[in-house]
Chain A
Amino acid sequence: MPDPQPASVYDLDHKAEVENLATFAVLVDNEPGVLHRLVGLFAARGYNIESLTVAETDRNAHTSRVTIVTRGTPHVLGQIEAQLEKMVSTRHVQDVTRDPNGLERELALVKVKSLGAERVEALRVADIFRARVIDTTHESFVFEITGAPNKIDKFAELMRPLGLVELSRTGVLSITRGADAL
């Protein structure tokens, strides 16, 4: 265990720091170039973007909600949050990962091509995951599935040996439980 209050910052054990996934919900002014500015901030500093979703959420206030999933050490994640807050176009930044009330959902479309027993099994797995069939041919299904990202990972993993040929994901969306709003 590293000393919680060392005499100097250099006594902090940097090697113990591991990279974590983090999800930031960012409310920005919806104006031309705002996405470029935000993405540029990551690109210029070599930070990763695992997923990114963006859409206008309040037409009257001209605000868009951006949900970014990124990866980094606690230090890097702190910098990302500070840099996001520094943008003039930013209204609010929320670290959803650190919030115990944070909810994350993702939607995926999954195309599975198979015949016979595999086709039946795919349908059974889809049923267990509460995925819906939104298109079918004699040799394929397209499933629609919603859930936390790891549920979708799991679904895709199970579908792979059953003939998964194409996967399309929206990226993570987030919101918090309870009455408080961003």
Chain B
Amino acid sequence: MTAHQTITAPEAADTEMMSGAEIVVRSLLDQGVEVLFGYPGGAVLPIYDALFAEPRLRHILVRHEQGATHAAEGYARSTGKPGVVLVTSGPGATNAVTGIVDALMDSIPLVVITGQVATHLIGTDAFQECDTIGITRSITKHNYLVKNVDDLPRIMHEAFHIATSGRPGPVVIDIPKDVQFGKAAYQGPQAVTHAHDYRPQVKGDAGRIAEAVTLIAQSRRPILYTGGGVINAGPRAAKLLREFAELTGAPVTSTLMGLGAFPAADPKWLGMLGMHGSFEANHAMHDCDVMVALGARFDDRVTGRLDAFAPTSRKIHVDIDASSIGKNVRCDVGIVGDAASVLEDMIAAWKSMRLSVDKTALAEWWKQIEVWRARDCFAYTPDSKLIKPQQAVERLYHHAKDKDVYITTEVGQHQMWAAQYFRFEDPNRWMTSGGLGTMGYGLPAAVGVQIAHPDSLVIDIAGDASVQMTMQEMATAIQYDLPIKIFILNNEWMGMVRQWQQLLHGERYSHSYSESLPDFVKMAEAFGAVGLRAEHPGELDDKIAEMISVRRPVLFDCRVTKEENCFPMIPSGKAHNEMILAQEARDLGSIIDEAGKRLV
């Protein structure tokens, strides 16, 4: 090879000298970024200066950096594109930490750019200095400290590649202020040479796939257990899941993260599984003989007691992250790969091997499932004077279901009621903090979703405690004219904490009651939003209709019964088939043993 063959002539634009700040902005544009969520400060001022001159990038000014990360998560989850965050050094970075962990736990692609003090000041306890790279090392998929502006184009493009490929996750790029001022030659996404050889395995092993489909064909009681991985694999994966369920006739359940991958209207849908999942889903999981886990990670909220988890089953586990396979639960067939790619290959193998299911056995299985379904585990008793929280979500669903609707939630009882009573037919419509369980996620996430889908109906199903954690983002919604609907199930308690104290701690309600709540209607008005309140079942429908019809941000104070518990429930330390229904839940404290109480 001669020397000139090794040098490819880069395009003229790619050799342009730019400042570090300009490189950041240009890289974002070249990555197809349209929106970023951020908050300025001393150590990112050069980048903000470069943004000032760039009309193609829309910057959404949040009110707290945690809000920026959750908004970026909402944006990412509802679009499938990476979310981008820009914050300053020190407190800017530390405030973003919660959202970064949240994105790691729920596998959300984020690129978080943090400012840093100038390189010669690092380590001197300079003003607004913190060890961002040290703090975020264990909470990111990868992170970078850019010490040399020449590395910046490569790192910017590599960060997007890492955040979005394989198991998605957050990537932090910490850029010292002098690097933002420094000059370097810009290189585009195609021109840079990545320092990391990061190529996650997408295609599943053909032999294991053949083994898996054979096992499914031989099964008498199959079940598909799907998770957020199916959503992350894109809409194609959700389509393929429907096809595969049709082919095998197997029932489908999903984790909290996977809701929407399979249509709730399909008769094969059993509802969510796990601690507050449906009776039929949990019993079917317990009694199945072949379980196909697709992009789900056997979380403790899903499995319940591990040594009694689906004891008679053989398990097939498909996951893009090899470390998830066999981590909590041992599996018989582990397939590393992308959910869409593996589903496609499984369907092809099923067809080419001319496999079929045992129709008689499957009919028996469905007969049993219908018996469980007939228990009607989500039944509740409405009250003539007070609004039940379940009823509130049910009515909200009734009014919103025919609209182009996106739902976010905070964390707690309302989140579980939302998962139980709101039904999803499509992926990317449901945004909730599953792994980390971050109270305060839903409101800023709704901001991000509404930015991506300005004409859609975006509702945050919230709790009165959670919503106060990131309430200031209402001002963001007002500033950008985002008609988000914050539907607060207000019971004046930290409901899930209260529920556990009632059931597990002898009704000692230690610090879980909100002695003073703001007047949410007046608060809405103070922000410049619309405040609505419903106190009686009779006015619920009209008020919800009003909330939906208003083209402005709404805070909806839905006063619900104060001491309602979230059922069904698998008590801590119990198995799937030891689920408690609402009518059986008189004295849960005596059902859970001491070992169970120690579990979270």
Q: Which positions in A face B, CB cutoff 8 Å?
A: 7-10, 12, 29, 31-33, 36-37, 40, 44, 62, 75, 78-79, 82-83, 85-86, 88-89, 91
Contact = CB atoms under 8 A, between A and B. Distances in A.
Contacts of A83: 323
A79 B491 CA distance: 43
Given A10-B307, A29-B196, A88-B162, 6 more contacts: A8-B312, A8-B313, A9-B329, A32-B145, A32-B147, A88-B142
B322 to A, nearest CB: 5
Interface string B178-198: 000000000000000001111
A44 B329 CA distance: 20
Given A36-B137, A88-B198, A78 B326 contact: yes
Given A82-B322, A86-B321, A10 B198 contact: no
Contact of A88 (B196, B321, B323): B196
Contacts of B195: 29, 31, 62
Contact of A9 (B145, B162, B332): B332
Most B CB contacts (10 A, CB to CB) among A9, A44, A85 go to A9
B134 A36 contact: yes
Contacts of B143: 33
Contacts of A7: 312, 314
A8 B323 contact: no
Nearest to A10: B311
B326 A75 contact: yes
Contacts of B311: 8, 10
26 contacts: A7-B312, A8-B311, A8-B312, A8-B313, A9-B315, A9-B330, A9-B332, A10-B311, A29-B196, A31-B195, A32-B147, A33-B133, A36-B137, A44-B138, A62-B195, A75-B330, A79-B323, A82-B322, A82-B325, A82-B327, A86-B322, A86-B323, A88-B142, A88-B196, A89-B142, A91-B197
Contacts of A79: 323, 326-327
A8 B325 CA distance: 16
A37 B144 CA distance: 12
Secondary structure at chain A's binding surface: helix, strand, loop or mixed? helix
Interface of B: 133-134, 137-138, 141-143, 145, 147, 162, 195-198, 307, 311-315, 321-323, 325-327, 329-332
Contacts of A37: 137
B291 to A, nearest CB: 11
A89 B196 contact: yes
Contacts of A8: 311-314
Nearest to B315: A9
A37 B196 CA distance: 15
Contacts of B313: 8
A-B pairs with the 3 shortest C-beta distances? A82-B323, A9-B330, A88-B142
Contacts of B142: 88-89
A29 B142 CA distance: 13
Nearest to B309: A10
Nearest to B322: A82
Contacts of B330: 9, 12, 75
Contacts of B197: 91
A58 B331 CA distance: 38
B416 to A, nearest CB: 29
A77 to B, nearest CB: 11
Contacts of A32: 145, 147
Contacts of A78: 326
B218 to A, nearest CB: 13
Most A CB contacts (10 A, CB to CB) among B137, B311, B323 go to B323
B441 to A, nearest CB: 23
B598 to A, nearest CB: 18
Nearest to A36: B137
Nearest to A80: B323
Nearest to B324: A82
A88 B197 CA distance: 8
A29 B141 CA distance: 15
A45 to B, nearest CB: 10
B326 A33 contact: no
Contacts of A33: 133-134, 137, 143, 145
Contacts of B198: 88
B473 to A, nearest CB: 31
Nearest to A92: B197
Contacts of B147: 32
Given A8-B314, A40-B138, A85 B196 contact: no
Contacts of B315: 9
Most B CB contacts (10 A, CB to CB) among A9, A79, A82, A88 go to A88
Contact of A85 (B138, B322, B326, B327): B322
Nearest to A62: B195
A7 B330 CA distance: 12
